[in-house]
Structure formats: C-alpha cells, structure tokens
Structure 1
Amino acid sequence: MSVHDELTSVQRCLDDLYRSVGRLEQQLGGGGLEIRRVRTDADHLRESVSLLREAADASRAAPRVELVTISDAPYDSSLWTDSDDEGLGARDRHAP
C-alpha cells in the first residue's frame, strides 16, 4: 500500500473511533473524566494524522532547486595571490 492509502485507512479507523466515542458519550454521559480523556485522545489522534498527511504531501512534492550557472571563463588569478598551493606549502618556504 502507498503512504496515501495507509493514511486514508488510518483516517477511516479514526472516524469509526470518533463515532464510537460519541455513542459512548451518549450512553455514559459526557461529564465523566474518563470519557473526556478518551474524547481528547481521539481529537489528538485526528490532529496528528492530519499533520502526518500534510508532511507526507510536502515530502512528495518535488523540491524546487535553483540552478546556478557557472561560467567557463578562467578565474582571476589575483584572487589567490595570498593563498598556499594546496599540498605544496607556501611558495617562499621549503618543506622540512
């Protein structure tokens, strides 16, 4: 199954849970601490699945990559007058 299918399945299960909790509230009364906690937990699960769906949709979208054009012209050699030749040391010094 794809991520989208899995999330849809989870959403259906949560909808069933939400309806069941609603029926329990009607039968037991909505004022008890236990049923309020179950309702709050079900709400948190719905929010979490919604956030997960948004994250999955965002990761599926291809990121926009800006291309940078690099010129084939040679660089100005004056940019490297104060640098060492990599791996060779400074020009005016000798290796030990």
Structure 2
Amino acid sequence: MSVQDDLASVQRCLDDLSRSVGRLEQHLGTRGLEMRRVRADADHLRESVALLREAASTPAAQKRPDLVTIPDTPYDDSLWIDTDDEGLGARDRRAP
C-alpha cells in the first residue's frame, strides 16, 4: 500500500469513529466530561491526520533541509580572545 492509500484508510476509520461518537452523544448526551474528552480526542485525531496528509503531499525535495558546508580551515583565533576554555578554567590558571 502507498502512503496515500494508508491515509485514505485512516480517514475512513476516522469518519466511522466520528459517526460512532455522534451516536454515543445522542445516547449519553454531551454534558459529561468523558463524552467531551472523547469528542475532543476524535477531533484532535482528525486534525493530526490532516497535518499528516499535508506533509505527505509535499515533495520530498522540499522536506530536506539545505546542507551547510563547513570549511576545513581553522577558525580565526581572535574570535575566542574573551572566552575561557570550557571545563579547563581560565588561560592563566591551572586545572586542579
């Protein structure tokens, strides 16, 4: 199965879940905390699948971040004049 087929299958299941939650709301009412949580969770799942569908529709080339080339040349020592060597203490002192 392709990703789109899997997403369509999940969408159908969510539609079934939404219908079932609607029937439960008719029987149990919408005032109870439990029912509100079930409805909120079902809605959250629907939003999450929509985000997945959107992410899956973007071309793979756009998902990959641009690579940054790090030069092999050493950094300019003047960048580090006012800093201590982390974990080693200050330059003019000795470590214990």
Regarding TM over 0.5, the answer is yes
User: Which residue identity lines up with residue 46 of structure 1 in the other structure?
Assistant: R
Structure 2 unpaired stretches of 5+: 63-96
- Give the greater-gyration-radius structure (CA): 1
Instruction: Give the superposition deviation at 1:59.
Output: 3.2
Q: Does 1:14 align with 2:14?
A: yes
Match of 2:65 in 1: none
Aligned to 2:30: 30
1:32-88 Cα shifts (integer Å, max 9, x gaps): 00000000000000000000000000035x55xxxxxxxxxxxxxxxxxxxxxxxxx
Partners of 1:59 and 1:19 in 2: CA distance: 33
RMSD of aligned alpha carbons: 1.6
**Structure 1: gaps spanning 5 or more residues:** 64-96
1:42 corresponds in structure 2 to: 42
Distance in 2 between the 1:12 and 1:48 partners?
14
| CA–CA distance in structure 2, aligned partners of residues 25 and 32 of structure 1 | 10
- Work out the CA distance in 1 between the residues paired with 2:42 and 2:58: 24
Work out the CA distance in 2 between the residues paired with 1:59 and 1:24.
40
One-letter identity of the residue aligned with 2:10: V
Equivalent-residue separation in structure 1 for 2:3 and 2:59 (angstroms): 11
Scaled by the length of structure 2, what TM-score is found? 0.62
| Identity rate, percent | 76
Q: Which runs of 4+ in 1 moved over 2 A?
A: none
Q: Give the total of aligned pairs.
A: 63
